[in-house]
Structure 1
C-alpha cells in the first residue's frame, strides 16, 4: 500500500521520556520549530541554524524536554533525493547533536521545499534514525500524562497537500491532487470532532494567520480555520514565515508561528491583514539568530515560551485547558 494513503495513529502512554534529566512527572514539555533546513551547498548549515540548535540543546537539557515538533522545510531548497541523501547527516544529524536532542523523539512534517524533492525518502528515514518519526504525510499523536490525568492530541497535517506548493510564489497555487486534499480535510474534521482531549493542537507548515512575508494562507483561512474554531482547538502551530509570532483570535484559538530555524526575515508586509488586537507578539530581528517555542502542558494551562539563542526568553503566554 502507498504509505501516503495510510493513516497512522501514534498512541503514546507518556512515561518519563528523558531519563537523562529526570523530574517529577506532572507536566509535558516539547519544542516546536520549523524552517531549519540549512543550505544545499557547503557548509550545509546557516549561522542561525547552528545558534538555534545550540540553544535548543541547552533548553532541552535544563527543562527536561520530552520531544520535538517540527513543522517543515527540513532541507532547503529542494528537499532530499533519497533515504541515503547526505543532507540527512550534514543538515540534521551533525547539527542537532546535544544529548538532550538525540535521546528524544522528533515528530516531522513536510514543508513546501520538502515537497520539491522526495518526501517519501523523508518518511523512509524514520527506519534509519531512532529519533526521526515521520510515519505519513499526516498523522495523529495522542499523549497521556500520568499523575495529573491530562490528555493531549496533536494532529500533524500536510498543508502542501491541502493547498498546493508555492513554486517561488508568495501563496500556494492550489492542491495538485484535489481528491487527496479533500481526504485529508475529512480526516482532520473527523479527528477534531471525536477528540475529547484536554489539549488539542494542530501543526502544519503554512500559517493560517501571519504578518510576515507570506502572510495569511487564504486556503487555510477558508478551509481549516472554521474547523479549528468549531472544535475548540487550543492552538495551531506553523512555520513558513521565518519569524516568531503569537496571534490569538480574542480569547479563542492561538496561532503560534515558529519558523526561525535557519533564516530570519524581518518583514511585516502583511500586518494589515491580521486584526491589530489579535497580534500579541512578533519578533524577527536579524540579530536574534533564530529561535523556537517551548511548550509546557500542565493540568490547568498550556504555557508557550518563545526562546532565542543566548538564553533570551522574549515572550511568554498561557492558554487554558479545553472545556466541553
Structure 2
C-alpha cells in the first residue's frame, strides 16, 4: 500500500554524524576565539597608564647687547666667544640669539642699504655656525636716532635677522614665549621724544598690546621679557636704572611673576644679575650690555647703600636673599646664556674668552 505524506507533515532528519558534531564544535571554538581577540588587545590598554609625552626640547638663548661698533671695542672678540659657546649647544637644544638693543652706534641705520649692517653685523658675526642661528632683535635708544623701520625691513633681506615690528612676541617653544619690547618710548628726554614724536611709537599702544598678550597666554606658558633699558642697576656711575620704564612695566608684569623667567636688558655696558623683587616670587633681572664698549661699575659704599637705593633704586650686592639686591655683576665684555627645559632655568655669564664667569639656576613651579 502506498504511503501518502501530507505536505504539512514534518520531515524527518538524519541524526548528525560524529564528524559533523566535531566540525561544529571546532567552528564554535574558532568563532569564540575570534570574538575574544579584540578584548585581548584592548585589556592591556584599559588597565595601563598612557605613555608619558616626550620631554620638551631644551631652549638655549644667548643674550648680547650694545654691540654695534664696527668690530671695535671688543666686539670682534665677543663674536668669537659667541660662536664657541653656540657650538657646544647646537647638538642638544634649540639655539637663538637675543639682542637687547643699541644694535648700531651711534645713530642707528639710515636704510636697509646702510653699510653698518655689514660692518657691525654681517662681517663681525660671520662664523659659519652663526649663519644658521636666528637673531631676535630689540631696539635700543641709539637705534631710534636712525630709521627703526629699516631694521624691521632688514628681516626680509636676512635669513637670521628677525624684527618683524618695533615690538613683537616670539614663541620659542611650546612652553616659552619671549616678548621683545621697545622701551625707548617710555623714557624721558631727547631719546624718548625721538621715539614718540619722530618715529611715532606710542607707549600707550605698546602697553595695551602687552596687557592683551599676557592675558592670552595659558597658565603653562613661561615668559621671558626683553627690553633695552634696565629697570635697576648696581652702579651709581651711569644710568642708575630707568625709573620710567620700571613704572610702566612692573605693574603689568607683576601678576605673572610666578611664570616670569626673567627681564633681560642692556643699556648699561656691563653684565649684572639683580633681584629687585623677592616676594612673593623672586623676579630675576639680567643686564647684558657688554657686547662692545664697556662702562665701569661703581658700587655705593656700605654707609651709602640706603641712600642710593631710596633715590635711584641702585641695588647693593647682598648675600641675603630676603631683600632687594644685586646678586652679581662685572664690567667685562661678554654675554649671558640662558637654558630652559620647561622647568629648570639656568643663566651663565660668559666672557670674551668663552669662559663661564658666573652661573645661576632656579626651578620654576
Is TM-score (shorter-chain normalized) higher than 0.5?
yes
1:108-119, aligned counterparts within 5 Å? 108-119=137-148
Instruction: Give the alignment of 1:144-293 within 5 angstroms.
Output: 144=173, 151-163=175-187, 166-167=190-191, 176-177=196-197, 180-196=202-218, 197-212=220-235, 213-232=238-257, 233-248=260-275, 249-250=277-278, 251-268=281-298, 272=308, 273-276=313-316, 277=318, 278-284=325-331, 288=332, 290-293=333-336
Partner of 2:349: 306
Q: Does 1:106 align with 2:119?
A: no
Number of the residue aligned with 1:140: 169
**Alignment check: 8 A CA contact 2:270 2:289 kept:** yes
Q: Which blocks of at least 5 consecutive residues in structure 1 are unaligned?
A: 1-23, 39-43, 145-149
Q: 1:58 aligns with which of 84, 109, 116?
A: 84
Q: Deviations over 1:52-83 (max 9, x none)?
A: 10100100011226111111101100011111
User: How many Å separate the matches in 2 of 1:223 and 1:159?
Assistant: 9
Between Structure 1 and Structure 2, whose CA radius of gyration is higher?
Answer: 2
Question: 2:118, 2:207 → 1: CA distance?
Answer: 34
Offset at residue 165 of structure 1 (A): 5.8
Aligned to 1:29: 60
- CA-CA distance at 1:104 after TM superposition: 1.2
TM-score, length-normalised on structure 2?
A: 0.72
* 3-state secondary structure, aligned to 2:104: coil
State the Cα distance separating 1:164 from its structure 2 match.
Answer: 5.0
Residues 48, 110 of structure 1: alpha-carbon distance in 2 compared, 3 angstrom cutoff: same
Q: Contact 2:82/2:354 (CA < 8 Å) preserved in 1?
A: no
The Cα shift of 1:319 comes to: 2.9
Check conservation: 1:193, 1:231, Cα contact below 8 A. Answer: no
Unaligned runs of 5+ in 2: 1-54, 319-324
Alignment partners' CA distance in 2, 1:188 and 1:102: 31
| Residue 131 (structure 1) aligned to one of 155, 160, 173 | 160
Does the 8 Å contact 2:273/2:326 carry over to 1? yes
Q: Note closer, same or farther for the CA distance 1:165–1:234 as it changes in structure 2 (3 Å cut).
A: farther
Give the C-alpha shift of residue 173 in structure 1: 6.5
Tell me how far apart the structure 2 counterparts of residues 219 and 69 of structure 1 sit (CA, whole Å).
23
> Higher relative contact order at CA 8 Å, sep ≥6: structure 1 or structure 2?
1
What do the CA deviations read for 1:12-60 (whole angstroms, capped 9, x no partner)? xxxxxxxxxxxx973111101110010xxxxx22141011101001000
Q: CA separation of 1:61/1:176 partners in 2, compared to 1, >3 Å: closer, same or farther?
A: same
Root-mean-square deviation over aligned CA pairs: 2.2
Q: Conserved in 1, the CA contact under 8 Å of 2:234 and 2:315? A: no
Q: Does structure 2 conserve the Cα–Cα contact (< 8 Å) formed by 1:163 and 1:175?
A: no
Assess if the C-alpha contact under 8 Å between 1:112 and 1:166 holds in 2.
no
Q: How many Å separate the matches in 1 of 2:189 and 2:67?
A: 18
- Displacement after TM superposition at 1:266 (Å): 1.2
DSSP-derived class of the 2:202 partner: helix
| The structure with more helix, counted as a fraction of residues | 2
Q: Distance in 1 between matches of 2:190 and 2:297?
A: 18
Q: CA deviation at 1:175?
A: 6.6
